[in-house]
Every structure is written in C-alpha cells, then in structure tokens.
Amino acid sequence: MNCDRLSDKRKLLLWNMEKNKKFLRDKGVSPAKMPEELVRRYFGKKWPEFFTTLRCLLGAAAEDYLESIDYQG
C-alpha cells in the first residue's frame, strides 16, 4: 500500500487538490464553502481514483456528501 508508485500518485492527488483550492480562492470562494466545492469536483463523477485518500483529505464535507447519497461503505 505504500510502494513508491502509489505514494507518488497520492502526492499528485494532494498537489492537484492544492491547485484546486488556489483556483477556488482566486475565484473568491470563501474558505467555509471550499470543502463543499472540492467534494463536488472530486465526487461529482463516478467513484474517483484514490477514493479513500480523497475521503480523508476532504473530511467532514466528504462524509456529509456520502451520507446524503446513502453511501454504505
């Protein structure tokens, strides 16, 4: 689970999330709304790659979203 290939992909995901946060900040999205916006970006499509990593990074916003769609996992 912690091989270099997977670690590198998780780092890319984290970098991508930081890039999305900057984009949202530049658009004037408030810090309070940012987690919701990020959840829409990452969970708005079929289950994303590195689902569990995203779920951890997005915390309560991800859990709220998953509960709202009756996710059982």
73 has pLDDT over 80 = no
* C-beta separation of 15 from 8 below 8 A: no
Is 32 part of any domain?
Answer: no
Predicted TM-score of the model (pTM): 0.80
**Residue-range definition of the domain harbouring residue 49:** 42-73
Residue 55 backbone dihedrals phi, psi, to 5 degrees: -60, -45
1 has pLDDT over 80 = no
For the stretch 5-61, pLDDT in tens is 999 999 999 999 999 999 999 999 999 999 999 999 999 878 888 999 999 999 999
Among positive and negative, which fits the CA dihedral 17, 14, 6, 39?
A: negative
Work out how many domains the chain is built from and give that number: 1
Is 63 part of any domain?
Answer: yes
Is 70 part of any domain?
Answer: yes
Query: DSSP 3-state assignment of 46?
Result: coil
Is 54 part of any domain?
Answer: yes
Is 20 part of any domain?
Answer: no
